[in-house]
Structure 1
Amino acid sequence: MVEPLPHVREIPPYVPGKPPTAQPGLTTYKLSSNENPYPPLAGVLATTEQAVAAMNRYPDMGCAALYDALATKLGVGTDQLAAGTGSVALIYHLLTAYCGPGDEVVHAWRSFEAYPIAVTASGATGVRVPVTADGRHDLAAMADAITARTRVVLLCTPNNPTGPALGHAEVATFVAGVPEDVLVVIDEAYLEFVRMADPVDGPALLRAHPNVVLLRTFSKAYGLAGLRVGYAVASADVAGALRAVALPFGVSSVAQAAAVASLASEDELFARVESLVAERDRLVAGITAAGWWVPEPQGNFVWFDLGERTAELAAAAGEAGIAVRPFAGEGVRVSVGEPEATDRLVELLGRLAPPA
């Protein structure tokens, strides 16, 4: 029998958010995958339908229209961009290009579930630095974890699944102390939902530090999760390396067309984001009124740090027609969704005893 490389057997499985189980007499809600609950904008949908009509042709491997639109939006060169099937694909590309056996990747934990998977797939070793009690990156401890073997540091802001975001000043200080031959990846999948006094200015950090890489996606705020398109912004050398290891024709023509149309429709899209932020605030107010606590959420989700009670809340939510994302023995992440889902979750929390 032909065996895979040893580290392949060590790759942990990715556990996706599950759909809700049908409950008699109840409308069910999927709050397990941090999806945008709104349907596609009419203009974006029309553009996508036109692209579907040409599905017999290969997509533009160079993503020219998408790179042009992003370069204009961000004020960077098109040679500083690399697209992939969601920002998670860029994590794989980056670790493939820069890491191998004997190398280390420092990241917070609990953080994005795909980090340990991608690190192990690259053959590198992950160095997990625990988040603080309120779900934040411990940047001082992460700085201390950097060694001569470190090749990449991953910062997830807002942090998925715990919710808090990093501030610009603290990240700027952190990056200034990282060796220039270590890449600092700022994973900003939820940046459009951030409402804080000192949000991270990713492009400014990149201009000051060529070892900074920004990861962004159209899956969350833009509502294109089903089409899988994300991108990296980096120095021309790093972006070129990411494009070099990417699967040819990875981002479909339909996804590219939808992303370009979404960038042209940002005013309407971001009005929806404001609605979700307002719903997030209403959810947090309801959680607090019910006697529960969550870390400060800056994405489109909240985190319940429950430990052994994780399964209890997940099961109760399922019975109430709400699918949530449990992390066994750690906690439950709940996406911000429809107002009716917020009402039902808050009502459920009012019937359950909050953690001591």
Structure 2
Amino acid sequence: MPLAIGSYEKLGVLTDGADLLNLAWTQDERDLLGADVMTVVAQELTAEVAEALPYTGDYMVKDPYGEGVLGPVVADFFGRPGWSASVTCGAGVGPLLHDLSLLAAGATVEVLTDVYPDHPHWVARAGGRCVPFGAGPPGDIVLLERPALADDRFAGLDAVRELCTDTAERGAVVLIDESNANYCPAGFSAANLAAEVSNLIVVRGLSKAYGLGGVRLGYCVSSAALTGAVRGVVAPLGASSLSLRIGRRVLGLGDVTSGLRARIAANKPYVRDLLTAAGLPEPVAAADGLPYVIFPEKPQVVVESLLSRGIQGKVQPVWSARTGALVAVGRLSVPLAAHRLAELESRLDRTATP
């Protein structure tokens, strides 16, 4: 089973060029945030040097999971200071999901929504198995993404709370990949339930929306009862001390994505209309907040058609919660900057503006 990172292998350069508008991923988000996060990062790096590199030289063996540094600011980010939930840090969402797959060794993971194929791949490598939810005997772990690519059944916290309550009765753990939830308000996150229920693990990072994937920092918010289980599989010292310093400052800014959310909401339906008017199969809007349109049918044909017009999309592998097999969808990131939207219009022979 290929990993999601493989979907980039056949792409050329990953930035715009004279002959290419690259919409394989979103690269115009940061200017729409309520704070200049790159300036914030630069300030932290400057302070690190001015203070004689305290974090760079600190091995942090007394805080191996980063909870001492990041835990309080994560609690404040969700407006829940002093909560009983635990925070466990790692080198990004992907590595954390890799480690958490060890919870499924010899166990069954029920998958509720379509997910990136990485975690199911690692579950299989650990000796577990992934099955569509309800396709057999109840599983030991329930996996879902929030927001899912095109599935809003668990968009509300009441639905997640009910899921946790129901699965707790049979001793199952609910594992939620919220790497895309940076596109949503802080109140959207299932992390807000972690101190209320006993069987929840929520994984988040700084890549989406913030554009800070290179910082390599992800964090799990989990119910206190699961702290031992999470830290039994997540490698200690996975997040660098310097990344924790930067992450603490960035999350300390609070919710800075409201402007980004507004632009995504404005541009996404317009881009769908552009694509349809250009003769492409009608795209499906990804879930609320996500800056994507997707093509479930004939994704390779669609991506090749776009590329012939100088527009780079991508064929994204997905583990299907309906079939329990790997499928592919075409994905196009919605251009957010005005000049990139105008470039898309030009390449699709349209001149209107939203």
Give TM class, smaller chain: 0.7 to 0.9
Secondary structure of residue in 2 paired with 1:214: strand
Which aligned pairs between 1:162-311 and structure 2 lie closer than 5 A?
Answer: 162=150, 164=152, 166-180=155-169, 181-194=171-184, 200=188, 202-266=190-254, 269-270=256-257, 273-275=258-260, 277-288=262-273, 290-291=275-276, 292-308=282-298, 310-311=299-300
Residues matched between the structures, number: 317
1:77-88 to structure 2, matched below 5 A, reads 77=83, 80-88=86-94
1:287 is displaced (CA, Å) by 1.2
Shift in Å, 1:151: 1.4
Deviations 1:155-202 (A, max 9, x none): 211114x4746222333333332244100122222223237xxx7452
Unaligned runs of 5+ in 2: 32-36, 277-281, 318-326
Task: State how far apart, in whole Å, the 2-side matches of 1:200 and 1:22 are.
Answer: 31
Equivalent in the alignment of 2:279: none
Distance in 1 separating the partners of 2:19 and 2:161: 46
Compute the TM-score of the two structures, normalised by the length of structure 2.
0.75
| 2:26–2:334 CA contact under 8 A, matched in 1 | yes
Task: Report if aligned partners of 1:156, 1:188 keep a CA contact under 8 Å in 2.
Answer: yes
Structure 1, residues 82-138: CA drift from partner, whole Å, max 9, x if none?
111112222222221x2212x1111145322322222123210011x3xxxxxxxxx
Does structure 2 retain, via aligned residues, the 8 Å contact 1:287–1:346?
no
Mapped to 1, the partners of 2:159 and 2:15 lie a distance apart of: 46
Q: Distance in 1 between matches of 2:189 and 2:297?
A: 34
Decide whether aligned partners of structure 1 residues 78 and 251 sit closer, same or farther in structure 2, where only a CA change above 3 A counts. farther
One-letter amino acid of the counterpart of residue 172, structure 1: R
2:267–2:335 Cα contact (<8 Å) kept:
no
Task: Report the more deviating stretch, 116-125 or 67-76.
Answer: 67-76
Aligned to 2:321: none
Q: 1:336 aligns with which of 334, 337, 350?
A: 334
RMSD: 3.4
- Structure 2 distance, partners of 1:307, 1:253, is 44
Corresponding position of 1:60: 60
**1:309-324 alignment, distance < 5 Å:** 310-324=299-313
Q: Structure 1 residues 232, 332: CA separation in 2 closer, same or farther (over 3 Å shift)? A: same
1:5-36 CA-to-partner distances (Å, cap 9, x unmatched) read xxxxxx53442435554999726444334556
Which secondary structure does the structure 2 equivalent of 1:262 belong to? helix
The answer on whether the counterparts of 1:317 and 1:345 sit within 8 Å (CA) in structure 2 is no
CA–CA separation in structure 2 for the residues paired with 1:280 and 1:224: 22
For the residues of structure 2 that align with 1:217 and 1:299, how far apart are their CA atoms?
A: 16
SS of equivalent residue, structure 1 residue 207: coil
SS at the partner of 1:210? coil
When residues 23 and 219 of structure 1 are mapped into structure 2, their CA distance, relative to the original with a 3 A threshold, is: closer
Equivalent residue number for residue 71 of structure 1: 75
Q: CA, structure 1 residues 45+183, in 2 after alignment: closer, same or farther (shift >3 Å)?
A: same
Q: Which moved more, 1:316-325 or 1:15-24?
A: 15-24
Deviation at 1:223, TM superposition (A): 2.3
CA-to-partner distance for each residue in 1:310-344, whole Å, 9 max, x for gaps?
Answer: 12222233344443221377321222344233344
Q: Percent identity?
A: 21
Q: What amino acid maps onto 1:99 in structure 2?
A: A
* TM value normalised by structure 1: 0.75
Structure 1 residue runs of 5 or longer lacking an equivalent are 1-10, 130-141, 352-356
Determine if contact 1:36/1:222 at 8 Å carries over to the other structure. Answer: no
Q: Distance in 2 between matches of 1:286 and 1:205?
A: 35
